[in-house]
Structure 1
């Protein structure tokens, strides 16, 4: 009975005069949902990006696309290793976060990685456009692709440097309970200024321009691929017609019908040779993303040469691979835009209306926090997109984990 009385007395004192710890725990309850959300994303992001880096390093040949994907995976892995854990700490201690420099570095790195991912997607799209739409022009080398990745990340850092000034420990005053707390948000020096809102408007502008540019590039690439596909079909039809005419000539030569004269054979042969000469070149695309170069079709009266057949098969396979890459990049672009947009919109609304958060209910605050941090989806979704759309990537992933998983779990 004495213990129960002491607990009751302590609880009543906490309710009447709560400490900073008590108020922090009250705010923490609103953040439980987003903490679980970020925790799941962090685990998936670590596994997915490590898997992506390993497979692309060991199973893919050096290329510009491989270089850019590895750069994206490294950026996403850095976000999962630093930004997400710090986010969890800031959410765990919403009124008791004392590390000012850590807060500044956290937001600087987070925005740099997000902007850098968007810029890398633009670079990949531009490289795809050059290879498909301007195949005979100058192309990037693998070495240049590495330099471009570094330059893109430096450019993203240049756009993110205001975070070092704008963000810091915000002082929360709670006069009702005579308590002061600190949280990782915009610095007190800029609380009553419009600089944070202007910066978010600037980032929103960059995001929209990037998204529109990517869509335009992929529209042009799509039109070019459709044009190439149409030419490929016409070349196949012409090749079949040519082969049929050769068959007619052979049948004419081998016939024993006495009514067919030598002059008729000669006339038919000349007619077919004249029409066949009109098809002097064929288009070959060894890679849907490589140069489109004409080559002379080797004509044989008996059959299509094996080299030409192999080249056609290779062209089809690599053409499909190019379409798959474009599909992956387009999905990645949409996911990147959709995941980053809510953060900017909510930040602008919060900065424009000081009492916005105070009017939210418990559930609304939890939903707000999840949408505010949903830009982390961008760092987790890319490996999932590779696995769903890239047959080679998913196949190599299954091979990798079939070695790791013990036989007893495989039903042996």
Structure 2
């Protein structure tokens, strides 16, 4: 039985034909043989990765566009809003640029010979993911301060904007090596039974001149170390947040003294406000304060009514003070509950982001320790290997689903938007 040429392909350390296949005297670089081999390799190894990427694109593209529109046009200007908009912006770039380019490369896996396009494609991919990492780390810090130290100065919208700018600067600084080491890589494929004939393809990977250098390994390890450091920091922060939430939940006093002594404004109102609307409790509290203000002026009435008014006013003020206190505690508890829900939502976004990079990190470690690992894999093993390399797309596509499931307000805004569109169409 004739062995397929793809079984000899090694996508982890492809070298040019002069080193890997010195006996190739006849080289096929164009024509029907190259196209047929490309189709064979695509269907046998890269079709699952293509389907996965296409599915992520179809979910993530519209989903992140919806997130960006709703948070930009409906949410009031808050710290959480700015961070979520930044994440949606990075994810939109991944969905509308990285994923279509990935689909193109996969479908033309050994016929893609556009080095400048490859460099920009890989660079933007790394840059967007680095930016998301920094923003998620900032979100973890913001949640930690709001929940563990609510009376201390909090991150404000102008701080969040500076963090997003910093994320962009750091992502550019750490991703720039991709512009150098990535490009068109030569893929020599020997034809079984014809040792002197090779099909010479091109793909988007490390450029030929960098294959046998330490630069790809250094770049991969730097990415791995950076991700591990950020992930550990976020795990520690969210662990401390979880400990505080559990500790307060088991406390006999549902509203800790440090909250009751402070103003209700000390608790974050960052998480549950759409537009400029106030909550019902806030409006009721304002009305009561207005009533108290009016009743206090009753003490300046003529002396003949002073005794009667004093009794009525004192009783009324006591009732209103009790109601104000109840509403204040209720408002604090409501804000705490909403803050915890928002924290849970952002925590799930962080978990998905970290989890989506675990397979990639594992592959990078294996590839660094054993350069011939990929060559020894079966065809099915190569398919799984390449699928895991693209798991990082999960976070870009699943974030809108997380928002939809864990944010009632976001879900309601989506329903309202769809109803408006439906009415216009009908």
Q: TM-score, normalised by structure 2?
A: 0.74
Question: Which residue, 34, 38, 43 being the options, matches 2:53?
Answer: 38
1:121-178 Cα shifts (integer Å, max 9, x gaps): 1111112222333334333331231122011121022111111112111111224332
- The correspondence of residues 144-159 of structure 1 with structure 2, limited to 5 A, is 144-159=159-174
Q: 2:267, 2:335 within 8 Å by CA — same for their partners in 1?
A: yes
Question: Which residue, 183, 200, 216 being the options, matches 1:180?
Answer: 200
Stretch deviating more after TM superposition (366-375 or 189-198): 189-198
2-structure distance, mates of 1:223, 1:286: 24
Report what 2:346 is aligned to.
329
Distance 1:76 1:98, change over 3 A: same
Q: Which runs of 5+ in 2 are unaligned?
A: 1-27, 192-196, 271-291, 293-314
SS of residue in 1 equivalent to 2:185: strand
1:77-127 Cα shifts (integer Å, max 9, x gaps): 011111101101110111111110111111111111112111101111112
Distance 1:395 1:191, change over 3 A: same
Report what 1:400 is aligned to.
417
- The correspondence of residues 61-80 of structure 1 with structure 2, limited to 5 A, is 61-80=76-95
1-structure distance, mates of 2:383, 2:211: 23
1:183-203 Cα shifts (integer Å, max 9, x gaps): 001111121123212222221
1:304-360 Cα shifts (integer Å, max 9, x gaps): 633222222221221111101111122111111110121232234335434333332
Distance 1:348 1:189, change over 3 A: farther
SS of residue in 2 equivalent to 1:178: strand
User: By how many angstroms is 1:362 displaced?
Assistant: 2.6
Q: 1:46, 1:77 within 8 Å by CA — same for their partners in 2?
A: yes
Question: Which residue, 247, 253, 264 being the options, matches 1:233?
Answer: 253
1-structure distance, mates of 2:90, 2:205: 23
Q: 1:35, 1:88 within 8 Å by CA — same for their partners in 2?
A: yes
2-structure distance, mates of 1:348, 1:76: 26
Q: 2:78, 2:157 within 8 Å by CA — same for their partners in 1?
A: yes
Distance 1:145 1:232, change over 3 A: farther
Distance 1:288 1:219, change over 3 A: farther
Report what 2:361 is aligned to.
344
Stretch deviating more after TM superposition (112-121 or 310-319): 310-319
Q: TM-score, normalised by structure 1?
A: 0.76
1-structure distance, mates of 2:421, 2:39: 41
Question: Which residue, 95, 106, 121 being the options, matches 1:106?
Answer: 121
Q: 2:255, 2:333 within 8 Å by CA — same for their partners in 1?
A: no
Q: How many residues align?
A: 345
Report what 1:380 is aligned to.
397
Q: Please report the RMSD computed on the Cα atoms of aligned residues, expressed in angstroms.
A: 2.8
Q: 2:248, 2:254 within 8 Å by CA — same for their partners in 1?
A: no
- The correspondence of residues 60-209 of structure 1 with structure 2, limited to 5 A, is 60-176=75-191, 177-209=197-229
| 1:289 counterpart = 2:303 | no
Question: Which residue, 365, 369, 373 being the options, matches 1:356?
Answer: 373
Larger radius of gyration: 1
Q: Which runs of 5+ in 1 are unaligned?
A: 1-13, 239-280, 292-297
| 1:317 counterpart = 2:334 | yes
2-structure distance, mates of 1:159, 1:235: 45
Report what 2:387 is aligned to.
370
Q: Return the structure number with greater relative CO, CA threshold 8 A, min gap 6.
A: 2
